[in-house]
Structure 1
Amino acid sequence: MSKVSNRTKIATALVGAMALASSNLVAADPLADAQKADTQIHADAAKSQKKIDKYFDQAQDMLFEYGSVADERESLKSYNDYVAKLVADQQATINDIQSDIDGVDALRQGVVPLMFKMVDALENFIKLDLPFNLEARLNRVANLRATLDSSNVTLAEKYRLILDAYSIERGYGASSIAREGQLNIGGKELLVDFVSFGRVGYYAQSLDQKQAWMYNKETKSWDVLSDGYLRNLSKAIKQARGQGAPDMFALPIPAAEAAQ
């Protein structure tokens, strides 16, 4: 009995020790797992932080790129608006030019008759005016008529020549002209000096300075001047030719006589 009991006690003691040891091992496993889990959490957190930092950097880069693109877009928009205004202005200019081109034919239809009327008016004016340089002035009119009928001269050049003729005629009104020519008096051709003072008076004097005449626009004939005007007329002819110093002289004026 005593031997069995001792063995039983020893076995019981061994079973108890093993149970105690087993309980300690079971208690140690959850702590290790907790430590491992904490380590893993930290590792995962570090990885997540890296990802967050990476995404943040990418977001910053994208934000900067967006800002650059937005600025470039505004710049391009401003430039496009500027170009659009230029194009609109150019189109308006093109439209105006096209309108002018379309109106060229109508302009020609109005200008051509006007030029013929201007030449007719110029010829009539010359025929009614004092007959100084009459041949040259009428020849100028004849040349204008020939030019109007010419296809080799542009419309603009024809118009310019007409204006030049008018300008020449206007210049006669402020100039003194002296020239030598022939004058028919009583059926005889006399060699005389002609002199005109603008459109105020037109005179003639024989080369021997013994006879003088004044043109009468109303009768379209030459009236004899008295001998008292011979010296003054000689002086006037020299001044018109630039052969004498400017000086005062007295001559009858047709308009003044008509007014009386």
Structure 2
Amino acid sequence: MTSRALGFACMLMSGAAMASGLPQAEQNQQALQNAARDTQAQVDRLTEQQLNQQAELERVKEEINNLSVYRDHLKRLVDDQHRELASLDSQLAGIENTRSGLVPLMYNMLSDLEQAVEGDLPLKAQQRQARLADLNQMMGRADVADAEKFRRLLEAYQIEMEYGRRLGTYRDTLVLNGQDSREAEFLHLGRLALLARSLDGREYWVWQQGQWQPATDISTSVLAQAYGIAAGHQAPSLLTLPLSQEIQ
């Protein structure tokens, strides 16, 4: 009897112990689940952080690659600029050498032009002398570039060349015998013939042997016709005019 009672008591105690251990096991299970959830959350955060870092790394690599390409581009531009600067330096040196030879050339050109005008017919004498004076003044001006000076000299040469190609008339002062001066209408056939006519059309002169002489060897009608042709009032025709200098 006593042993049965003891066994029953043990069974009651064991059941009570098991009943008291169930809540603890549930707590432990819950704790494990919470820990697992926290661990998974941490893993997810670490994974996301790693993915973000990987994306940032790729972006940085791409930026480095773009900067490398841009650096190479800039290097090519700088190398090209260096070549351009070297070329400009060479050109500037050439310009200085050209300028050192250009200035004496221009003075020689001006001197030759003065001699040509001095030894030529007194064709548009006032205009030509005024042009030479302007050129001489221009050569001494620092505010006029050498290129412009050279252009003006070439222009003067071109004008002188045109005088020898055209038939034309103009008004100027006629000086007779070095004393008597009057307004007259001049006609030139290139540099072959230079005539003068009084404004009333009654008197004619021809430049010969370095002076003005009366044009008595040719009729006034032929001379008047020549003036009409030169002025464009008559159709061109074959004329015989006194020459002011011999044909070489």
Unaligned runs of 5+ in 1: 1-9
Identity %: 26
Unaligned runs of 5+ in 2: none
1:233 aligns with one of 223, 228, 235: 223
CA distance in 2, matches of 1:65, 1:89: 36
Shift of 1:104: 4.9
Query: Kindly tell me: are residues 112 and 34 of structure 1, through their superposed partners in 2, closer, same or farther at Cα, counting changes over 3 Å?
Result: same
1:133 aligns with one of 104, 124, 131: 124
Query: Kindly tell me: are residues 175 and 46 of structure 1, through their superposed partners in 2, closer, same or farther at Cα, counting changes over 3 Å?
Result: farther
Over aligned residues, Cα RMSD in angstroms?
A: 4.5
Q: Quote the residue 1:61 is aligned against.
A: 52
TM-score normalized by the length of structure 1: 0.64
Q: Between 45-54 and 244-253, report the one with greater CA deviation.
A: 244-253
1:80-130 CA-partner distances (Å, limit 9, x unpaired): 556555555555555555555555543331111111121123234334544
Q: Is the 8 A contact 1:232 1:249 kept in 2?
A: no
Shift of 1:163: 3.0
CA distance in 2, matches of 1:190, 1:251: 29
Pick 1 or 2: higher relative contact order, CA cutoff 8 A, min separation 6. Answer: 2
TM-score normalized by the length of structure 2: 0.66
Q: Quote the residue 2:175 is aligned against.
A: 182
Shift of 1:47: 1.2
Q: What SS does the corresponding residue of 1:250 show, helix, strand or coil?
A: coil
Q: What SS does the corresponding residue of 1:231 show, helix, strand or coil?
A: helix
Question: Who wins on radius of gyration, i.e. which is larger?
Answer: 1
Q: How many residues align?
A: 240
2:238 aligns with one of 235, 244, 250: 250
Shift of 1:234: 1.6
| AA matched with 2:99 | R
CA distance in 2, matches of 1:88, 1:59: 43
